[in-house]
Amino acid sequence: MKIICSWCKKLLGEKEPSDDPSEIHAKCAACIEKQKHQEQFQKKTESGQIITLENGSQGYISMAGKESPKLSFGEIDFSGKVFFAWDKKRKEFEKHLETLSMDEVNVTWLHSAEFHIDKPLKRRGRKKEKEEPPPQVEGPKEDIIWNCTVRVSKDTALQIFDSSIQHNRRYMELLADMTHNWLERETIPVDSEIFLFPPQEADIPRFVEFLREREIYERTIAIPYPYTDADGKKFIELVDEKRKEFGHSMDWGIRNTKAELIGMIGFQGKSKKDSGKEEVGFWLGKPYWGKGIMTKVIKKLTEHAFREFKYQRIEINIFSFNDASCCVAEKCGYRFEKLVPEAYQKDGKAIDAKLYAIETIDVQLT
């Protein structure tokens, strides 16, 4: 007795008695998969989510992460396996197609993406259908990402993969250019050994390493002690908030030739109320004290702020007992203006501060 696939008529096996000419009808795995997807297409058609592509393929829209895989930009799901389309992945993709018993493949990608094969895979239909928004989903408002799934031949799947390689390559080139431009815009060179660049989350271990030094804590007003990873994360969040608020970086890590963070310098945000005035704060890891680094950094950032941010006046408030920082301020051209009694409270004690300031007229900008 033979067991035959009722769809493709493929012989699946035999059953005793072997001399029985009758047949048992079943479905092979490939046809079960085809039936599953046909039912899925039918369901999407009934819900109004079906789309027709210009090359004649039919597909449907689905919610990423719920009705279909959650894909990153540049990723494509080919019948259950996700690939980032890239040259080095093409052989692996071809092997995946060979393992599929079906002649057709389900291809799922971000609905905003387009792939150009024999004809563009763009949404087609009546004008009214083009103007309709994606299907509305009841429930709380949330960001919804839509995927598009089509069923195509293996040859077309290869074309989609190759076209996506080109698309991803162009995207990577654009991203590299944008990253390069961003790095140039955010970097402030000081000299051949030191440059300034905004702090990143990867710098947190350096914060913890240097800011567990009690002498730094004693000379600054806002740095916690002992310093922890959680403090570093809060600081990075504050840095990001200030960048968004002011439209440009307000804080920079002081970095060596290895791009390692060795200190910080930044503006407090006074220009929010008075656009012509700012206050600068800074600290330097203790192993780098006494090398003239902070003097060069403050001079450079002062010039940068006057030229790029159009500040008219920059102030530094220094604890009155911190003679080293007072000396640095004076070397950078900041004038001592006054002593402010009990300017700060720290560890239950009032601390006097010395106010130093510099104005645009004091600096010859290059």
Owner of token pair 């004649």: 56
H or E stretch at 335: strand 335-346
Tens of pLDDT, residues 258-291:
899 999 999 988 777 667 889 999 999 999 999 9
Q: Which residue has the higher pLDDT, 231 or 109?
A: 231
> For the chain, give me the number of helices (H) and strands (E)?
9, 18
* 301 within a domain of the structure (yes/no): yes
42: pLDDT strictly greater than 70: no
Type of residue numbered 211? L
11 and 153, same domain (yes or no)? no
* 129 within a domain of the structure (yes/no): no
23 and 92, same domain (yes or no)? no
194 and 313, same domain (yes or no)? yes
* 135 within a domain of the structure (yes/no): no
Tens of pLDDT, residues 94-138:
998 888 877 788 888 876 544 444 444 444 444 444 555 555 545
Helix (H, G, I), strand (E, B) or coil at 108: strand
Contact yes or no for 265/254 (Cβ under 8 A): yes
Q: What is the residue-wise DSSP string for 33-81? A: HHHHHHHHHHHHHHHT-EEEETTS-EEEEEEBTTTB----TTEEEETTE
Mean pLDDT of 238-247: 91
Q: Which residue has the higher pLDDT, 12 or 98?
A: 98
Tens of pLDDT, residues 158-193:
988 998 888 888 877 777 776 666 666 788 999 999
Tens of pLDDT, residues 193-204:
999 999 999 999
* 137 within a domain of the structure (yes/no): no
Count how many domains the chain has: 3
353 and 335, same domain (yes or no)? yes
348 and 207, same domain (yes or no)? yes
79 and 61, same domain (yes or no)? yes
Mean pLDDT of 33-43: 66
* 209 within a domain of the structure (yes/no): yes
358: pLDDT strictly greater than 50: yes
Q: Where in the sequence is the domain holding 21, given as residue range(s)?
A: 1-45
* 131 within a domain of the structure (yes/no): no
The pair phi, psi for residue 40, each rounded to 5°, is -65, -45
Tens of pLDDT, residues 47-99:
556 666 666 666 777 777 777 788 887 888 888 889 988 888 999 999 988 88
Domain boundary among 183, 207, 231: 183
200 and 223, same domain (yes or no)? yes
Contact yes or no for 282/319 (Cβ under 8 A): no
250 and 311, same domain (yes or no)? yes
111 and 22, same domain (yes or no)? no
17 and 106, same domain (yes or no)? no
Mean pLDDT of 25-41: 71
* 162 within a domain of the structure (yes/no): yes
C-alpha dist (Å) from residue 230 to 208, 227, 233, 236, 262: 10, 8, 5, 10, 19
**So what's the pLDDT on residue 317?**
95
Nearest Cα neighbor of 160 from 75, 220, 249, 66 is: 75
Type of residue numbered 221? I
Q: What is the mean pLDDT of the chain?
A: 81
**So what's the pLDDT on residue 55?**
61
225 and 341, same domain (yes or no)? yes
Mean pLDDT of 204-223: 93
For residue 273, give the CATH number of its domain. Answer: 3.40.630.30
* 132 within a domain of the structure (yes/no): no
41 and 114, same domain (yes or no)? no
Contact yes or no for 233/269 (Cβ under 8 A): no
Taking the C-alpha atoms of residue 41 and residue 47, their distance in angstroms, rounded to an integer, is 10
**So what's the pLDDT on residue 124?**
41
